[in-house]
Chains A and B, each alone.
Chain A
Amino acid sequence: MAKSTDLKSDRKQRSALRARLLSVFTWGTVITSVAGFFTIWYNIHQSAEASPVSSTTASRDAGAHSHRNSSTGSGGDGASSGAQSGGGTEPGSQFGSSGSEESGNYGYGDGYGHHHGSYGDNYGSSGGSGLFDGGGQGSAGISPGNHSDVQSHAS
């Protein structure tokens, strides 16, 4: 029973978040979704030639970083555009990206032929007091209003 209530509450929260997000969409907004993760983007400080974007169905490699046209669909998540080449993408660098988003092997080599594996491999591996452990449960989303209690900025 408690579990059912939790699920209902969770659904309600997600529904509220969706409503909030939808309420702030504008012409320039691009929405994509992959595995329940919605990525939204738009441009600011654009010159007059920045016309409203048009919505198209995304192709697999429609990345957020290079397209002003809207990409809505499973592929256009603005994430990686497919597999990346193995270690040492920069000459002289001791870091090189390897693996791919899809395979879950994204990580960095050390320049000596070793691979440290996925970033994610390190999560949850250090007991209860680790950097990424604890802190409780919370939620966040876009606020429909402009009022803010405090500002977050680089420091």
Chain B
Amino acid sequence: MHTRTFSAMGTTAEIAIAPPSIEVESIETDLETVLDTTESIIREHEGRLSRFRSDSDVARVNARLGTWVPVHPATARVAALAVEGFEATAGLFNPCLGTWLESLGYAVSFDMLPSPSEDPVPTLPPASGAACPLEVRESERRVRVAPGYKLDLGGLAKGWIVEQAALYLRSHGVHDFIVSAGGDMVCSGRHGERPWQVGIADPQEPARTLLTLDVDNLSLATSGTYRRRWQRAGATLHHLIDPRTGRPAETDVVSCSVLHPRLAAAEVLAKAALLLGSTDGMPWLRRHAPDGWVIVTKHGRVIHAWNW
């Protein structure tokens, strides 16, 4: 298997290509060149969509709240998908909670997050679920964020960027591969005669695999509260903000993995189900994630569902 691993998007990106995966007519393709370009595509999009880079589109939008800001077409596309995610989840998925994250201490890339702080945890208001604070005029390549909010496409951009990498690989005759960023992945085709096999991490011991899935040509995203955590005034905070409370989510779900043809959609579905908690999240997933899902609760219950 041909692999490439590198740091991107505040996590580890991995490309694994199953042999033989190159079409006959592309047999002379230089795989290393294809991988180089794939990595460049990921880095280019990250540069536009990161909340933490001062020259990114997201930073420029956040510097001019309340005004229409011209952005790259890719940014406008991701922003439009984010609005769709907001509407599909009635605001549970909110791409404009950057203000909340910054106030709670998540103002820099996670690998640079400061040591535990004794500053008190601020009390923040709920975010409105009535209308998305992000507006997009995609044909004009402009976006606008309402004052009081800050754009944070982190919940969706990673999946979309991985999808672009996957599209590039397919366009160059590579069909059986995994592109993963921090565990959110497109599993394209198969690994030879078998499906791709993906381990779901145990939230209590992330190095351990809780469950192994056979994945044949689908995407898989996992949202969880057991990573990207930090200490503040003795409290443990995490990055999944519940817009209904303005605080890090406190539900019984600590990890939710969703299978879907589209990785960006899987990310939104997993996040929304985690915020809903198992009681409301499971019936919702049953309706919207027919390819399957896995929930792990804080009580150690593993729940998974498959449509047959």
Contact = CB atoms under 8 A, between A and B. Distances in A.
B211 to A, nearest CB: 7
A10 B257 CA distance: 24
A81 B68 CA distance: 45
Contacts of B6: none
Contacts of B200: 151-153
A154 B223 contact: yes
Interface of B: 1, 10-11, 14, 16, 81, 84-85, 87-92, 126, 128-130, 158, 178, 180-185, 187, 191, 195-204, 206, 209-228, 243-245, 252, 255, 257, 259-262, 264-265, 268, 278-280, 282-284, 286-288, 290-292, 296-297, 299-308
Interface in A47-71: 63-65
Interface of A: 14, 17-18, 20-21, 34, 36-46, 63-65, 77-81, 90, 92-95, 97, 101, 106-108, 110-112, 114, 116, 119-120, 122-123, 126, 130-143, 145-155
Contacts of B217: 136-139
Q: Is the interface of A mostly helix, strand, loop or mixed?
A: loop
Nearest to A120: B287
Contacts of B216: 138-140
A148 B287 CA distance: 28
A140 B215 contact: yes
Contact of A123 (B181, B222, B288, B291): B288
B50 to A, nearest CB: 14
A149 B191 contact: yes
A133 B84 CA distance: 11
B88 A39 contact: no
Contacts of B130: 94, 110-112, 114
A51 to B, nearest CB: 15
Given A119-B284, A138-B217, A140-B195, 18 more contacts: A20-B214, A37-B286, A40-B304, A43-B300, A131-B84, A132-B262, A137-B261, A138-B187, A141-B306, A146-B212, A149-B197, A150-B180, A150-B185, A151-B209, A152-B220, A153-B182, A153-B255, A155-B11
